Amino acid sequence: MSSINLQPNLDTYSNSESFTRKKLKSPHTKTSLIEVTNKLPIKPPCRIFFKNEMEHSSGSFKLRGIGNLVKVSIENARSKGIPLERIHVFASSGGNAGLAAAYSAKFYKVPCTVVIPTIAKPIIQSKLKDYGAKVILFGNSINEADQYLRNIISSADQDIYPIYCHPFDNPEIWEGHSSLVDEITQQIGENDINKIKGFVCSFGGGGLYNGLYQGMIKNNIKGDILLVETAQAPTLTETIKANNIITLNKVNSLATSLACSYTTKQSLQYYKIKTNGIKSSLDLIDDMDALRACIAYKKCCNKTVEPACGTALSVCYNRIDLLYKNLSHLKEDDILVIVVCGGSCTTDEDLKQFEQMVRKSEIKL
Ligand X SMILES: Cc1ncc(COP(=O)(O)O)c(C=O)c1O
| Interface residues toward ligand X, by CB under 6 A | 60, 62, 95-97, 167-168, 202-209, 257-258, 260, 306, 308-309, 341-343
In the bound state with ligand X, the residue whose beta carbon lies nearer, of 19 and 213, is 213
Q: How many secondary structure helices (H) and strands (E) does the chain include?
A: 12, 10
In the bound state with ligand X, the residue whose beta carbon lies nearer, of 8 and 176, is 176
Instruction: Find the shortest distance in angstroms from Cβ 17 to ligand X.
Output: 37
> Rounded CA gap, 156 and 237, in Å?
39
In the bound state with ligand X, the residue whose beta carbon lies nearer, of 12 and 266, is 266
Instruction: Find the shortest distance in angstroms from Cβ 313 to ligand X.
Output: 11
In the bound state with ligand X, the residue whose beta carbon lies nearer, of 224 and 306, is 306
In the bound state with ligand X, the residue whose beta carbon lies nearer, of 204 and 215, is 204
In the bound state with ligand X, the residue whose beta carbon lies nearer, of 63 and 77, is 63
> Rounded CA gap, 248 and 287, in Å?
18
Instruction: Find the shortest distance in angstroms from Cβ 187 to ligand X.
Output: 21
Instruction: Find the shortest distance in angstroms from Cβ 251 to ligand X.
Output: 12
Phi and psi angles of residue 196, each rounded to the nearest 5 degrees, phi first: -70, 115
In the bound state with ligand X, the residue whose beta carbon lies nearer, of 184 and 233, is 233
Instruction: Find the shortest distance in angstroms from Cβ 124 to ligand X.
Output: 11
In the bound state with ligand X, the residue whose beta carbon lies nearer, of 77 and 294, is 294
Q: Which of 160, 251, 245 is nearest to 204 (CA)?
A: 251
Q: Which of 266, 57, 25 is nearest to 166 (CA)?
A: 266
Rg (CA), the chain: 20
Residue 143, SS3?
helix
Instruction: Find the shortest distance in angstroms from Cβ 10 to ligand X.
Output: 31
Instruction: Find the shortest distance in angstroms from Cβ 6 to ligand X.
Output: 27
Instruction: Find the shortest distance in angstroms from Cβ 87 to ligand X.
Output: 24
DSSP letters along 8-61, please?
Answer: --GGGBSSGGGTTTSPBPPS-----EEE-GGGSSS--SSEEEEEEGGGSTTSBT
> Rounded CA gap, 179 and 25, in Å?
13
> Rounded CA gap, 147 and 290, in Å?
30
Strand pairing category for 33-35 and 47-52: antiparallel
Contacts of 281 (CB under 8 A, 6+ apart): 224, 225, 226, 227, 326, 327
